[in-house]
Amino acid sequence: MKKFIVLLLFIVSVGFVYANGQHEVSSKKELTVAVTENPISLDPTATLSNVSMRVMKNIHETLIGIAEDGTIVPRLAESWKQIDDRTIEFTLKKGIVSQGGFPLDADDVMVSFGPGRTQNSDDPGYEFFRQCMVDPFDSIEKIDDYTVRFTKSKVDPILLKRFTFDETSIICGDSYNTKTSWEDWSVHPVGFGPYKVDEYKPDEYMSIEKFDDYYGEKAPVDKVTYVVVPDMSPRIMGLLSGDYDIITEIMPDQFSTIENRKGYKVAGGPVNNIRQIIFDESNPVLKDSRIRLALSYAIDRELINNTIFKGLSEIPRGIQMENFGEMYIAEYNPVGFNPELSKKLLKEAGYNGEEISYRYMMDYYTGEVATAEILQQMWSDVGLNVKIELKENWSQIYLDEAAEGRGMINWSCTAKLPDPLTQMAQDYGPGGWFQNHEMWFTDEYNGLYEELSGTDTAKRRTAFAKMLDLVEDQDPPGTYLYFLPKFFGINEKVNWSPVKSHFMDFRAGHLEIAE
């Protein structure tokens, strides 16, 4: 009898432990997000794209941040001092540890910004970091174990705010110095953010896990998985079947499919990004600026917005944002829809139906395919022979190796800060992609860029107005379309709202999942 009681107690205790263990597993909070694609790298300097901006600030931490009202707030730095228009000094917080367990100090900052990563032309992060900072640093000095001083080669009116960019995130220097290869590091970096990289499977999924020793308020969920689902229909089906909690890039004509199901909703709208078409000036047909202008005048932007986005996007006044404040040129009238002028320019240029290629992808941008098809018809209506070419990946679109035969490509222009230096000027200017890859160049633009980089607001405003005229009405490197809209399907158990940027903020205070 005694043996039977002991056995019974043992079975009960095992059952309790098992049930308790099951409860622990089920109490873990996980979020699954279906996306069109994941970034090719998770190192903050190695890529600059809409999909990389989606995740970087969940993994990495910058010295300072910027609040929604534009206020600069401390992150890894406890204080900073701008010595002059070229020089700034940061003092780090103490007691912070990286996702690799190493304490934060000035050496991490020196490695993050140093040679081997960002300073030399053959460094893996050089090109995108250069686009972020534009002018190189004259010096980066370690003042003591917790203080670093940066001195740029030229005056910079937004010097402090540049340190809020993803590309200036601080990595763990100790972990970086012991990496086995750049390829492995780039998808398994070690930083200081609230989530650490868990798994990365190219073209399949990536996952990040809560970093328990994060110095700030801890992440609200234990794990986030970004699953690659390129086509919209399977993303919607997966949301409604419970496989995914959030899905990205939803078109307005599919809103009702989601909203008509109890427990699901759609959120989102235009972000601080302008969709563009870029002209490759090295293409023989597009060397003539009149043909590029004709392409721009043939576009009915309002019709695209109303047809594809049900009027839910907006049309900008050229490549600028209203939140530029004093730098916003409200009186500027950009190129509009004028098909007769388009035909006139083509006749003056002697255009005779030569084929122009236009490369695009399967909805990397919301509504990309539908936009390409409408544009092709608009161009055809004025006599332009545009061949649309669907490509599998970005390397087939913009890399130098793919330049042969390229005419136009899709692009977008993000305003990381409320200043033109972080949008059009950065993209088209010295150090920007298009000049670096010989797709467009003018001395006049670069001269205006120097004036825009000064500290006199009136002179900066005058220079920016001239830049808008140059790139819209005279020698266009591309043309604007609309503010890029981003719409999300969301399970209502998830309390999350998108912001007006590419970043999907899953940090504390921005995400909750109902029990």
DSSP state of 47: -
For 135, counting Cβ atoms within 10 Å of its Cβ (0-12 exposed, 13-18 middle, 19+ buried), the class is: middle
Q: Over range 14-24, report the average pLDDT.
A: 45
CATH architecture of 271-484: Roll (3.10)
Dist CA 496 CA 246 (whole Å): 9
Q: Which option is the CATH number for 61-172: 3.40.50.2300, 3.90.76.10, 3.20.20.140, 1.10.8.350?
A: 3.90.76.10
User: Do the beta carbons of residue 141 and residue 148 sit within 8 Å?
Assistant: yes
Q: How confident is the model at residue 209 (pLDDT cuts 50, 70, 90)?
A: very high
Same fold, 31-38+189-269+486-513 and 271-484: no
Predicted confidence (pLDDT) at residue 9 exceeds the cutoff of 60: no
Nearest CA to 49 out of 170, 109, 131 is that of 131
Residue 353 vs residue 47, higher pLDDT: 353
The number of angstroms, rounded, from the C-alpha of 32 to the middle of its chain's C-alpha atoms is 20
Domains of the chain, residue spans: 31-38+189-269+486-513, 61-172, 271-484
Average pLDDT, rounded, for the chain = 91
Nearest CA to 431 out of 417, 414, 411, 445 is that of 445
What are the tens digits of pLDDT across the range 336-349?
999 999 999 999 99
**Domain spanning 31-38+189-269+486-513: which CATH class is it, in words?**
alpha beta
Predicted confidence (pLDDT) at residue 19 exceeds the cutoff of 50: no
Proportion of the chain above pLDDT 90, given as a percent? 74
Question: What is the predicted pLDDT for the residue at 14?
Answer: 42
Question: What is the predicted pLDDT for the residue at 200?
Answer: 96
Q: Over range 492-512, report the average pLDDT.
A: 95
The H-or-E segment that residue 264 falls in is: strand 264-279
Which of the residue ranges 104-113, 129-138, 455-464 would you say has the lowest mean pLDDT?
129-138
Q: How confident is the model at residue 5 (pLDDT cuts 50, 70, 90)?
A: very low
Question: What is the predicted pLDDT for the residue at 11?
Answer: 41
User: Do the beta carbons of residue 283 and residue 407 sit within 8 Å?
Assistant: yes
Q: Over range 36-55, report the average pLDDT.
A: 90
